[in-house]
Amino acid sequence: MWCERPRSDEVSQFNCSMKGTNMSTNKTSIIKEVNFYYSKLDKPVSPFGTEIYDIQLRFPKHRIKEMSAFGKVREVEDGNYAINITRKAKNAKGQKTPVRVVDAEKNPIKDLIGNGSEGNVIVYQYDWNVSGRSGTKTILIAVQVTNLIKYVPETEVDFDILEPVAEDNESVSADF
């Protein structure tokens, strides 16, 4: 397998090919300088039945054209734009496929990534064609966090204990 050298602009692309195959449309890219939101990289989630890792990438309006090559761009509540990048938690053989998460110096990060963290992501793209339908699939490979905002779950939020209230000296029914 061989890959071309990356460019130095915001999205570095490695165009790869394997001897004897036509993989010229497959490529690995680095998407630089994005904000991370709703990161689910520590353990897989399964919103549609298949376990996946997921992260939302947010960016300003001037990057819409660039980012539309990686997914469906939508406007989010803070005025920025976003795409989600995912990766299946297991491959076809049933083996776990975790996402590599590192800091600016490429050291592994164990902390949870909080909303607003900044960094870069590596993605792999390939074209697909099944039953007359076709498209490009983007898969999350690795995340580099350059400015970590640690996610700290709110353990303080909980329901109040409610006492049953009896009206006019009537007893509260035990059928609750």
Q: What is the pLDDT of residues 82-101, one digit of tens each?
A: 999 999 999 999 999 999 99
pLDDT > 70? residue 125: yes
Judge whether residue 23 has pLDDT over 50.
no
What b/e sequence results for 71-104 when a residue is b if at least 16 CB atoms lie within 10 Å of its CB, and e otherwise? bebeeeeeebbbbbbbbebeeeeeeebebebbee
pLDDT(163) > 90: no
89 neighbors 119 (Cβ within 8 angstroms): no
CATH topology of domain 2-147: OB fold (Dihydrolipoamide Acetyltransferase, E2P) (2.40.50)
Whether the per-residue pLDDT at 172 is higher than 70: the answer is: no
Model pTM score? 0.74
**Distance separating alpha carbons of residues 74 and 59, to the nearest angstrom:** 10
pLDDT category, 5, cuts 50, 70, 90? very low
Residue boundaries of the structural domains of the chain: 2-147
CB neighbour list of residue 125: distance below 8 Å, 6 or more residues apart: 26, 27, 28, 29, 69, 70, 136, 137, 138, 139
